[in-house]
């Protein structure tokens, strides 16, 4: 992993930071590769249970770097329209660990697509959100797929089809943002939420998150069948036994993620 993304793990919490503050953390080919590597590292680390995604400096991510944007979407196998674009967290990397976006300043284009992929969003009072692509003559694809699953279709299309920016208060009002805080409170607020999430047994949390997302796309019976199967798998883990023992003994559980 290079210098354009900072990856830090503190216990079971990972912080992934866009690190090109001199260009508002705009994404070029190097940052894209570093970012993909960071998410893969988080996914594969058994001791990493929750992640916070944020940006260095006064901006979360201003989208693709228009001056150095070659490779900003990443590289893909295949040819022409058959190219599968699922090569990143934003575009559909399967990741069932909880994720939090901590937003300050600009959150545009690819940045907002990443936010739409996160489970929780905390923003500062000066955050701004938008998809400027249509005003540049190009469509928003992954953002258009993701955003209607987070907010109403009408609010999603307003962002997607106008290219306008909205502030943090409006983003909270339409359900995109969970909490708005002063800039100097951003990371503390994200950490407070992360600490709450870390109280859950990590495998039980992942199974629950996966069902929350997959269940929307499955017929009811298929969703219940899948969920009950996952319940049996999770119920056979060491953590499930530890959780029951801790409850009987009146103590805090000691999760191991296995």
Give the pLDDT confidence of 73-110 residue by residue, as tens digits.
777 778 887 777 788 999 999 999 999 999 999 999 99
Across 133-164, b (16+ Cβ under 10 Å) vs e yields: beeeeeebebbbebbbebbeeebbeebbeeee
pTM: 0.94
d(CA 226, CA 170): 37
* CATH T-level fold of 5-197: 2-enoyl-CoA Hydratase; Chain A, domain 1 (3.90.226)
The CATH class of the 202-249 domain is: mainly alpha
List, in order, residues 6 or more apart from 40 with CB less than 8 Å away. Answer: 93
**Do 5-197 and 202-249 come out as alike in CATH topology?**
no
Helix (H) or strand (E) holding 246: helix 238-249
Question: Is a pLDDT exceeding 80 seen at residue 1?
Answer: no
Helix (H) or strand (E) holding 181: strand 179-181
HSE-up of residue 24 (Cα within 13 Å, Cβ side): 19
Name the pLDDT band for 9 (thresholds 50, 70, 90): very high
* CB contact at 8 A, 183 and 124: yes
* CB contact at 8 A, 129 and 165: yes
pLDDT in tens, 174-193: 999 999 999 999 999 999 99
Query: Would you kindly state where each structural domain of the chain is located, as residue ranges?
Result: 5-197, 202-249
């Amino acid at each position: 992993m290079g210098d354009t993304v900072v990856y830090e793990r503190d216990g079971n919490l990972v912080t992934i930071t866009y690190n090109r503050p001199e260009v508002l953390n705009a994404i070029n080919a190097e940052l894209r590769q570093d970012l993909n590597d960071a998410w893969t590292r988080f996914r594969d680390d058994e001791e990493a249970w929750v992640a916070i995604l944020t940006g260095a400096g006064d901006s979360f991510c201003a989208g693709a770097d228009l001056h150095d944007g070659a490779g900003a979407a990443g590289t893909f196998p295949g040819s022409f329209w058959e190219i599968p674009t699922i090569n990143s967290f934003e575009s559909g990397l399967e990741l069932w660990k909880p994720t939090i976006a901590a937003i300050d300043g600009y959150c545009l284009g690819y940045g907002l697509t990443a936010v739409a992929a996160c489970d929780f969003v905390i923003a500062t009072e000066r955050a701004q959100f938008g998809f400027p692509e249509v005003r540049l003559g190009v469509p928003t694809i992954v953002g258009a797929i993701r955003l209607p699953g987070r907010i109403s279709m009408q609010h999603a299309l307003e962002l997607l089809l106008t290219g306008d920016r909205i502030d943090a208060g409006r983003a909270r009002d339409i359900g995109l943002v969970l909490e708005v805080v002063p800039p100097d409170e951003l990371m503390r607020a994200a950490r407070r939420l992360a600490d709450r999430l870390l109280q859950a047994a990590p495998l039980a949390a992942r199974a629950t998150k996966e069902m929350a997302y997959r269940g929307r796309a499955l017929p009811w019976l298929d969703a219940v069948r899948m969920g009950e199967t996952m319940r049996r798998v999770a119920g056979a883990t060491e953590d499930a036994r530890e959780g029951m023992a801790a409850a009987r003994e009146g103590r805090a559980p000691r999760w191991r993620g296995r």
